[in-house]
């Protein structure tokens, strides 16, 4: 099979170390061989290809930048490149990795006890256990500070009541990291599958993220051991710190979805003949292709520099917000433009474009909507918060 080669107009390839390229190429082959052949079928049927999870674990795609506990310990640029490849396959595949690694393993690693780390991190790293991250509620999405889910201390336990909404992998997860209000502020709790009072229901009827599981979580007098609280996670800040990790992966991942759409449109335009010539020869088509290639290149450079900053411990939340905001908006516009170039074929799952386009509508909304990231950057520039 011929390996997919990306658009690389600015020679980013030359900025990568041999190890970064090797990791990228390994994930690229995995996507070509094991994701692309099955993804449309799973998308149609509305389910995640669970059989790839152990293989993702073997490839170190869960908690990749963490060290110990069976994690790969790779740098942030290599991780970002891997996320680009996964999302070239499908946003749902990249999401599985971002949630498991950035939103479940990272907070356990950063805020958890040694017992919590030993219990969960090796299994999550291998893909033998699945985790989910419950922050959003039916009435509190962009403003999680208003959450109503409550955890009340009762002896050696906490008793949870409330609901979480739109939770990736919620009903298949072995462990849910649930954020709840307590007397000492918002804190994170590990709720294990099967705990009495905890139930999870799949959200059906989605037109986006069809090859991904999304769920609603419910807690009714759900009693968990006090030892399941993440002791280092104090306040909403800990949840937002975890979101930085997943937002970072989206900044890279969205480039993969854009590349898939760009290359589909480029190939199609060279083959599709109208008015006796390939449509790629028309100026209006070329303008679209040039716009896509330019925006993808800018996004690649933004992600690359963000990755290098992250590896130096210098990536600021505002930089992550800018990369998430810009790169996802770019990817969605690229997908819509590619869809147009494909004409009627653009709405068929014979091509990956409409699937990516529908997925990217969610990516623009989750992990902080485009508008919320705009306001985070606006606050940084002006010193004035538009939230209050």
Nearer to ligand FAD, 135 or 315 (CB): 135
Could you tell me if 98 and 106 are in contact, meaning their C-beta atoms sit under 8 angstroms apart? no
The residues, ordered by sequence, that sit 6+ positions from 45 with a Cβ below 8 Å of its Cβ are: none
Rule CB under 6 A: say whether 296 interacts with ligand TGC: no
Which one of ligand FAD, ligand TGC, none is in contact with 145 (Cβ closer than 5 to 8 A by kind)? ligand TGC
Residues numbered 224-243 forming contacts with ligand TGC, rule: CB under 6 A: 235-237, 240-241, 243
Could you tell me if 337 and 266 are in contact, meaning their C-beta atoms sit under 8 angstroms apart? no
Residue 225, strand partner residues: 157
Single out the residue of 27, 32, 105, 120 nearest to residue 66, CA to CA.
105
Could you tell me if 317 and 376 are in contact, meaning their C-beta atoms sit under 8 angstroms apart? yes
What are the two backbone dihedrals, phi and then psi, of residue 165, each rounded to the nearest 5 degrees? -130, 145
Nearer to ligand TGC, 289 or 376 (CB): 376
Residue of 9, 145, 273, 386 that binds ligand TGC (CB under 6 A):
145
Rule CB under 6 A: say whether 98 interacts with ligand TGC: yes
Dump the DSSP string for 103-171: IIIHHHHHHS-HHHHHHHHHHHHHTSS-EEEE--BTTBSS-GGG---EEEEETTEEEEEEEEEEEETTT
Nearer to ligand TGC, 143 or 274 (CB): 143
Q: For this structure, is 40 an active site residue?
A: no
The residues, ordered by sequence, that sit 6+ positions from 94 with a Cβ below 8 Å of its Cβ are: 83, 86, 87, 249, 250, 253, 256
Smallest separation, CB 335 to ligand TGC (Å): 17
Single out the residue of 166, 123, 121 nearest to residue 141, CA to CA.
166
As to burial, measured by CB atoms within 10 angstroms (0-12 exposed, 13-18 middle, 19+ buried), residue 201 is exposed
Nearer to ligand FAD, 353 or 376 (CB): 376
Smallest separation, CB 169 to ligand TGC (Å): 8
Task: State the first-to-last Cα distance of the chain, in angstroms, to the nearest integer.
Answer: 54
Nearer to ligand FAD, 344 or 384 (CB): 384
Smallest separation, CB 75 to ligand FAD (Å): 25
Give the number of other CB atoms < 10 A from CB of residue 117: 17
Which one of ligand FAD, ligand TGC, none is in contact with 134 (Cβ closer than 5 to 8 A by kind)? ligand FAD
Smallest separation, CB 179 to ligand FAD (Å): 8
Rule CB under 6 A: say whether 136 interacts with ligand TGC: yes
Rule CB under 6 A: say whether 327 interacts with ligand TGC: no
Residue of 99, 108, 292, 354 that binds ligand TGC (CB under 6 A):
99
Q: Where does this chain bind ligand FAD (CB under 6 A)? A: 99, 132-136, 141-142, 166-168, 209, 214, 362, 365-366, 369, 371-372, 375, 387
Smallest separation, CB 267 to ligand TGC (Å): 29
Tell me which residues are annotated as active site.
367
- Interface with ligand TGC (CB under 6 A): 95, 98-99, 133, 135-136, 142-145, 168, 235-237, 240-241, 243-244, 246, 317, 366-368, 372, 376, 387
């Amino acid at each position: 099979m011929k390996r997919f080669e990306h658009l690389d107009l600015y020679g980013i390839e030359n900025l990568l170390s041999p190890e970064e390229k090797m990791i990228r190429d390994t994930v690229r082959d995995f996507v070509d061989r094991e994701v692309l052949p099955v993804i449309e079928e799973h998308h149609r049927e509305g389910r995640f290809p669970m059989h790839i999870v152990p293989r993702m674990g073997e490839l170190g795609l869960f908690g990749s930048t963490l060290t110990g506990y069976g994690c790969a310990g790779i740098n942030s640029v290599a991780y970002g490149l891997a996320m680009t490849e996964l999302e070239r396959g499908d946003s749902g595949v990249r999401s599985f990795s971002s949630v498991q690694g950035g939103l479940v393993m990272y907070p356990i690693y950063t805020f958890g006890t040694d017992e919590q780390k030993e219990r969960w991190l090796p299994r999550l790293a291998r893909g033998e256990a699945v985790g989910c991250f419950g922050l959003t509620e039916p009435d509190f999405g962009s403003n999680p500070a208003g959450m109503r889910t409550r955890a009340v201390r009762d002896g050696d336990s906490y008793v949870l009541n409330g609901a979480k909404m739109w939770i990736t992998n919620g009903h298949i997860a072995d462990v849910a990291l649930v954020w709840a209000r307590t007397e000492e502020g918002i804190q994170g709790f590990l709720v294990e599958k099967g705990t009495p009072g905890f139930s999870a229901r799949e959200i059906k009827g989605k037109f986006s993220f069809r090859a991904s599981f999304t769920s609603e979580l419910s807690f009714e007098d759900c009693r968990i051991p006090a030892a399941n609280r993440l002791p280092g996670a104090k306040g909403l800040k800990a949840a937002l710190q975890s979101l930085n990790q997943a937002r970072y992966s989206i900044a890279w991942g969205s480039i993969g979805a854009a590349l898939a759409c760009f290359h589909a449109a480029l190939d199609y335009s060279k083959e599709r003949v109208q008015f006796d010539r390939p449509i790629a020869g028309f100026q209006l088509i070329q303008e679209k292709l040039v716009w896509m290639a330019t925006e993808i290149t800018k996004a690649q450079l933004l992600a690359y520099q963000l990755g290098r900053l992250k590896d130096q411990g210098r990536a600021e939340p505002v930089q992550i917000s800018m990369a998430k905001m810009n790169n996802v908006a770019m990817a969605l516009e690229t997908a819509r433009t590619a869809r147009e170039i494909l004409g009627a074929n653009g709405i068929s799952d014979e091509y990956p474009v409409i699937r990516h386009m529908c997925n990217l509508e969610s990516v623009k909304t989750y992990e902080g909507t485009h508008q919320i990231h705009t306001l985070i950057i606006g606050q940084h520039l002006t010193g004035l918060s538009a939230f209050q």
